[in-house]
């Protein structure tokens, strides 16, 4: 009896996060696409702090391969490094929130 074992091909990042500049009060969206679904331990971070799905932070997944983070109503203090982790895979990008200068 011959048993053939095929190692499951490891997922890779097809399209990583991109640096994003937005103004105060706008939304910032980051997307990371994986080569195939089923990657465990998916997590989003902002400057080392884990992010969770709530009314300000929208985390979604499409077909298990396209992972999206939307930060709503951003403020200047939200500027920093956004990181996506899926198992051993990591993608990072900078978020720059620009203030609006009001001239009288």
Residue 42 to residues 29, 69, 88, Cα–Cα distance (Å): 17, 12, 10
Q: What was the pLDDT predicted at 7?
A: 46
CATH architecture of 13-98: Sandwich (2.60)
pLDDT surpassing 50 at residue 21: yes
Mean pLDDT score of the chain: 90
Residue 14 to residues 6, 67, 92, 100, Cα–Cα distance (Å): 22, 11, 14, 35
Q: Which residue from 45, 34, 29, 41 is spatially nearest to 80, judged by alpha carbons?
A: 45
Which two structure tokens, joined as six digits, stand for 48? 């080392």
Tell me the domain boundaries of the chain.
13-98
pLDDT, tens digit, 9 for 90 and up, residues 23-62: 999 999 999 999 989 888 899 999 999 999 998 999 999 9
């Amino acid at each position: 009896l011959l048993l053939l074992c095929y190692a499951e091909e490891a997922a890779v990042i097809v399209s990583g996060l991109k640096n994003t500049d937005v103004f105060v009060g706008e939304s910032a969206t980051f997307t990371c696409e994986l080569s195939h679904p089923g990657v465990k331990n998916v997590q989003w971070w902002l400057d080392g702090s884990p992010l969770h799905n709530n009314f300000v932070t929208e985390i979604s997944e499409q077909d298990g391969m396209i992972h999206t983070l939307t930060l709503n109503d951003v403020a200047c203090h939200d500027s920093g490094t956004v990181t996506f982790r899926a198992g051993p895979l990591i993608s990072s990008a900078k978020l720059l929130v620009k203030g609006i200068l009001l001239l009288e």
